[in-house]
Chain A
């Protein structure tokens, strides 16, 4: 056999056709691993056994009737779907962490699999067994809900809601692993551990969303309404639609992270992130109208996202040296690839802060508003400079812990102690507390900037790429 030959049929011209079920080798591999005859029989048998127990117990009650039994079955199915989604969340994260643990991730990165193939091959393939159970429960639950007299529209929401919740949690757990790898500069064990820790966060999210889901469902959906962009929406409809949007954004985020991991071209573009911020800002604005408070909330949301991105971005010396080398060599591809996206969030957050302040102007003096804006900027400068000071240290192994502790001190301790000491002295000169607050924040920002400057000089003294 002639190897490395362009005429070889194994190398057809252009994009090679993919083999495997659905044209997705990753999906097929997961089917090979996840589905066996025993497991395919076990799931329906287990569900049938539990249903048998439920129906038997309900049947023994004096007040039992078909509607009541059907409602119990529907509730069991809903609970079962949420439980399986929780299990699927762990399996979805495992599809990546196991690749790192088994040393197969490099092979996958070097394959021809596209990011979409990789995502749905893992997201659906890795969790196929739980979705197999979910489909059985959805069919039984839908029939039972219809027999229990639940309106069709509400049944549809009860189907869409848990499915969206499952997709959201499973894609988010995968996304957290990829973000951890990106942050740590590779699929290391340490990064995988971080992914697992963030998995615990999704457990809380799951609890919050499922509790919210049950609460909304308990409120009988259509009876409770809310206002969104002037329109009246049933709470349950709005909740489920928001859940669907969250799930779609989570999958999109996973796709973007997978593109970067699979070394796709232009995989660090800012546009999707901007659209994400605008989308959720519009979503938030719709709930509160055009008041200055709403714009402030939007600004806070974007500031929070900037902090989140800062937390998730690689910040060590190597990251900066790579960016510096790219800037020095004017390599536009590398600059695009390495440019930190939190800078975009910061720019947008500043813009939104100005808008929010503009709305607040009629109620406040121009000096107060300007000082408030300056204070917000000082806060951001202080925090970002401090974080980089920690991460640019020669030994930054404890930078994360130090960052969390210092933020806790900055936001939970300082605001309740320093002004208490400082303001009584100030009050003898003026009764406007905005000015001393601004000076306090400016002082903190200046100290953080000086520290960062000193650290940056150390980093710059190291050999550069030029």
Chain B
């Protein structure tokens, strides 16, 4: 849905983007992370056809954004870091204007305004002037403006700054909901923990260079199957027989002590329940049966491993 190839962008005195290339699949939510000055905002603005790179090309939904920026804009929604609102207009009029300006017909605009306001929990505040809204409500109004025309691609620059914890949770829910409906979302943030709950992939930028595109689903999946069971038996039990019994069931067993075994190879909760049932039915005197899930690496862990891995290679 988004294809970026060899994009280079210079500011006087430094290179903001250095041959950046990546592709994002449809309906994905990608976290754009990196330290201050990494080029996150420049990259988002280049994708939004607001800053023209020196070289390279960017396709959004198959359109070269610099060949036909205006057509590309119709497919995009963009929430800048320092978003703007028409402070003297009511929230409803702000949204109506955004819808009309994106070419929505008057007939469809009212329904879309209500839809967007509902998505960001702003329906009760629709008649208030934008300047009378709280910081968090204004942020949500700006987000509603960005999605009111139901774009295929949504670019968000620090969307959660200024939101309280409850609103952040709502934002995560909204992101998942929009992606489920087919929207491709690229979201930048400093706060990795807030991205963790909804992002499906991560782009790591540093000093204008793309360090890694990492699918978080692929990263998390193998970790979750590596569950680890601890079994403590009555001292009278024949541990060697039990090891053989478990091996015949296709499980890997390690003996920690005379009465303690560690079992791996149990793929999921259902298999774990079945194993416990079988042990009891077979008459094994089990005193303790506990499962340990090695924690899936957090987004921050993945980010650190990528950045540190790069430093070590250097």
Contact = CB atoms under 8 A, between A and B. Distances in A.
Contact of B101 (A113, A316, A325): A113
Contacts of A3: 147, 150-151, 178, 181-183
Contacts of B106: 19-20
A375 to B, nearest CB: 36
A15 B103 contact: yes
Given A29-B97, A329-B55, A16 B10 contact: no
Interface string B100-128: 11111111110010010000000000000
B176 interface: no
Interface in A286-336: 316-318, 321-322, 325, 329, 333-334
Interface stretch (A86-94, A138-146, A209-217, A262-270): A262-270
Interface in A393-425: 394
Please indicate which of the listed interface residues B12, B98, B182 has the most CB atoms of chain A within 10 Å of its own CB: B12
A447 to B, nearest CB: 26
A104 B103 contact: no
A26 B101 contact: yes
Contact of B85 (A2, A8, A102, A316): A102
B86 A29 contact: yes
Interface in B6-28: 8, 10-13, 15
B296 interface: no
Contacts of A29: 86, 89, 93, 97
Given A3-B182, A394-B13, 19 more contacts: A1-B181, A3-B178, A3-B183, A4-B181, A4-B183, A9-B108, A10-B105, A16-B105, A19-B106, A20-B106, A25-B101, A33-B86, A99-B84, A102-B85, A265-B68, A317-B12, A329-B55, A463-B15, A465-B8
Contacts of A333: 66-67
A33 B54 contact: no
B98 to A, nearest CB: 7
A107 interface: yes
Interface in B61-83: 66-70, 73-74, 76, 78, 80, 82-83
Interface in A105-126: 105-113
Contacts of A12: 105
B100 A19 contact: yes
A140 B86 CA distance: 36
B7 to A, nearest CB: 11
6 contacts: A3-B183, A9-B108, A10-B108, A102-B86, A321-B54, A463-B15
A103 B84 contact: yes
Q: Which 5 A-B pairs have the closest CB atoms?
A: A103-B84, A16-B103, A19-B106, A25-B100, A104-B84
B102 A111 contact: yes
Contacts of B86: 29, 33, 102, 104
Contacts of A113: 101
Contacts of B76: 110
B50 interface: yes
Given A108-B101, A110-B48, A111-B101, A465 B55 contact: yes
B140 interface: no
With a 10 A CB-CB cut-off, give which of A10, A111, A316 has the most chain B CB atoms.
Answer: A10
A430 interface: no
B118 to A, nearest CB: 9
B188 interface: no
B98 A107 contact: yes
A318 B12 contact: yes
Nearest to A8: B150
The secondary structure that dominates the A interface is loop
A109 B51 CA distance: 11
Contacts of B84: 99, 102-107
Contact of B151 (A4, A16, A105, A465): A4
Place the interface of chain B in its size category: 35 or more
Contacts of A453: none
B70 A264 contact: yes
Interface residues of A, number: 51
A106 B80 contact: yes
A105 B281 CA distance: 71
A201 interface: no
B88 interface: yes
Contacts of B101: 25-26, 107-108, 111-113
B93 A32 contact: yes
Contacts of B147: 3
A110 B89 contact: no
Contact of B10 (A2, A20, A111, A321): A321
Given A25-B100, A112-B73, A113-B101, A318 B181 contact: no
Contacts of B227: none
Contacts of A28: 97, 100
Contacts of B87: 102
A109 B70 CA distance: 9
A400 B268 CA distance: 70
B42 interface: no
Nearest to B56: A465
Contacts of B10: 318, 321
Nearest to A114: B70
Contacts of A112: 70, 73-74, 101-103
Nearest to B153: A4
Nearest to A118: B101
Given A29-B97, A318-B11, A321-B10, A10 B104 contact: yes
A38 interface: no
A195 to B, nearest CB: 18
A432 interface: no
Contacts of B69: 263
Contacts of B78: 106-107, 110
Contacts of A321: 10, 54
A99 B112 CA distance: 24
Contacts of A1: 115, 150, 181
A18 B103 contact: yes
B137 interface: no
Contacts of B152: 4
Contact of B50 (A106, A111, A265): A106
Interface in A193-217: none
A349 B13 CA distance: 36
A5 interface: yes
Interface string A333-350: 110000000000000000
- Residue among B11, B70, B106, B145 with most chain A CB within 10 A: B70
A107 B145 contact: yes
